[in-house]
Chain A
């Protein structure tokens, strides 16, 4: 059974860089077909997809946030790391990592982590 757990700072200052870690358990990240993504949810608002990294290290980003995001993985620790630069108070909210199910343009969030709350404030 695959489980995911997010970790990172609860508070970051405006203009700082946020680094979040997703610890993936139950399957090696470099297993054929494994894909992990990040989504976020501002308080009281809808889900927003951020980025995805695949078992073969292919990466995909939200086109609107692409210049601020970097996704990577550390297979030795079985972790996926997301960095978001130039943080703004509007970036506050819950950040979830998720195992991506399906394939190609028929993908979905198969399993989500519990999420981590990030507040951007000076």
Chain B
């Protein structure tokens, strides 16, 4: 049982827009901690996609964007491409878990 809740799967056709939600509580996202997002292509290591709620590391296309509100956060991918097919994880902190990073359960994105 993950601290942060994500839908197990989402899908979309090439060129479409998809969103992935990350739902937390008042002890994590709602407490003001940043939300970060990772992309994990099967068989590879997680790659930082978004940090500090909305910031893209160098090299991440602007097709990827994210937002945060209240106890939830959301990742949006526009202009869906076949190479976007991967697992996506949100991550934050929780006041009850000290310095631990807490993760969502992951969402598998399928490009139809």
Contact = CB atoms under 8 A, between A and B. Distances in A.
Contact of A46 (B33, B44, B45, B106): B106
Interface stretch (A10-18, A22-30, A82-90, A110-118): A110-118
B45 A60 contact: no
Contacts of B45: 96, 112-115
Interface in B63-112: 89, 91, 93, 97-106
B98 A60 contact: yes
Nearest to A105: B93
Contacts of B52: 102, 106, 108
B46 A48 contact: no
A48 B105 CA distance: 10
Interface residues of A, number: 24
Nearest to A37: B101
B20 to A, nearest CB: 14
Do most interface residues of chain A lie in helix, strand or loop, or is the interface mixed? Answer: strand
A62 B34 contact: no
A109 interface: yes
A109 B34 contact: no
A107 interface: yes
Nearest to B103: A47
Contacts of B103: 46-49
Contacts of A8: none
Given A106-B33, A109-B36, 17 more contacts: A37-B101, A47-B89, A47-B103, A47-B106, A49-B103, A52-B99, A60-B100, A62-B100, A101-B48, A105-B33, A105-B93, A105-B99, A107-B101, A108-B51, A111-B48, A112-B46, A114-B45
